[in-house]
Amino acid sequence: MMTLQTSDFTPTLTTLSLGLAAIWAASIFATVVYRLFLDPLSKFPGPKLAAATSLYEGYYDVIKRGKYIHKIEELHQRYGPIIRINPHELHIYDSNFYDHVYNGKGKWEKSPEYTRSIDSGTSVFGTVDHDLHRLRRASLNPFFSKQKVTALQSVIQDLSGKLCTKLEACKGTDTAIDLESALGDFSMDVISEYCFDTKMGRVDRPGFSSDFRSIFRGLTELGHMAKLTPLVMMLFDSLPDNVVLFLNPRIKMLQEYDASCLALAKRLLRAESEGSWEDKGHPTVFREIIASADLPPSEKTPERLQAEAKVIINAGTVTTSWALTSALWHLTDNPDQLAKLRAEIRTVMSDPRHKPARLQQLEQLPYLTAVLNEALRISTGVTARSARIAPDRILMYDNWEIPRGTAVTLTAAHVHFDPAIFPNPKVFNPERWVGEAEARQRLERYLVVFSKGTRGCLGINLAWAELRIMLSNLVMRMDLVPFETTKDNIELYSDMVVPEPKNYQEPAQFLIR
């Protein structure tokens, strides 16, 4: 009698591997076929490879370092104003359509692919669901109103004065200042004082450190990879510290930054439970959030508050400091504009060291506003696309019917550099914002640095207060001279979530005179 061995029925490792590979290949093939021929988005123009796989976008953003923003513009020239740029997303190149996507009418959700590059969806900025976003945003809105920010101006003025004094100590020396980092320290101190009931004391530290740039550069370098797959962030979180340090020292700094934000969240919760809040003389945002009866306990966990803290610090620091750096470089490159700005500010601030102008006075200066509008336009704010999804309705663009639930984007930088709106868009020209009220209002419609709608920038009033106070104090108290800094250190070259110049490895440096 023949004896059957168990091994006769056991697939070999090779056979099993081939079987799994065949299943995987069939799955990939079926996915590609669906995306190219059966998906509702298959009718839209665009490269077939982009429709088939997100690796097309990944090549330009990860391998070629943030160049998809320029490739998209090139694709529009070939395929038209509406194209499919990845398997799940449509992009529209039409400045006049911006308000149709970024507005407060109806429900608007975010794409999960985009929130992966920010957090796990626990912050206001990263929240996907419309109703949950509205709940979270409502708890923050009152503290970023014009009235509340105006009441904070003494804090902003104090920190601005401290930074100016610190910079003046370098006057006449050969000390080259990384201005973006110095201004980032100022913004972080303002935010920590107002939002977290704590003083980070970055302006008070001796010297000028570039750790600000290193932390946020590490964050942006992960952004495009994290958008492709959630495994990226999970991988870095699971790796031993020495491995992370070897792969990218900036990631280690980012992990330490995450830990400090979590520690901050726990300290705030402890202060609430112990009743040990320090009286600041002004409301602090997180104190009110934690004490709010409108938010359930699930919205007040350490991890939720950590995510919110990171986003508020990141969003409130990077774009403001970069806009100021851009403004100052362009003003030093255009002495006539700088002289005109100083003459206007002098009408309300003759003694900047001892009697700085009040915010309400600065708000009335048209040329200061024009300079800042132009700086915000040309520095672009956040360069990353921010997809919007209408979950319950069909959108129409021209004769194109966009299915409900589709991620749709326009890029702020494309609007800001649209020559039909802003002639000679790469030229820094504040005069374009000076003139008849109707013409100014028309241009302001296309200044989308803070986005628009219910998901627009929460801190727009705080940002404007910082910009007005800091720029006016700097230009009235000192002369700044670029040091080994050219347009390659300033102008947009790559989309690394925020604008990255061509010479991104070297900061924009200035001498104080």
Which residues define the annotated binding site for heme?
A: 457
With 0-12 / 13-18 / 19 or more C-beta atoms within 10 angstroms meaning exposed / middle / buried, residue 440 is middle
CA-wise closest residue to 146 among 472, 473, 465: 465
Give me the residue label for tokens 């964050």.
219
| Distance from C-alpha of 359 to C-alpha of 362, rounded to nearest angstrom | 5
DSSP code at position 37: I
User: 387 φ, ψ to 5°?
Assistant: -70, 145
Question: Tokens for 70?
Answer: 């320029």
Secondary structure class of 498 (helix, strand, coil): strand
Which amino acids are annotated as binding site, given as ranges?
457
Q: Tokens at residue 79, please?
A: 């395929």
CA nearest 128: which of 116, 142, 144, 139?
116
Element (H, E) at 18: helix 13-33
Separation CA 110–CA 428 (nearest Å): 33
The residue among 189, 191, 183, 190 whose CA lies nearest residue 209 is: 183
Query: What 3 state SS string does 155-216 have?
Result: HHHHHHHHHHHHHHCCCCCCCCEEHHHHHHHHHHHHHHHHHCCCCCCCCCCCCCCCHHHHHH
Q: By the 8 A CB rule, do 390 and 450 touch?
A: no
Query: Rounded to an integer, what distance in angstroms lies between the CA atom of residue 466 and that of residue 66?
Result: 29
- Say how far apart CA 458 and CA 223 lie, in whole Å: 21
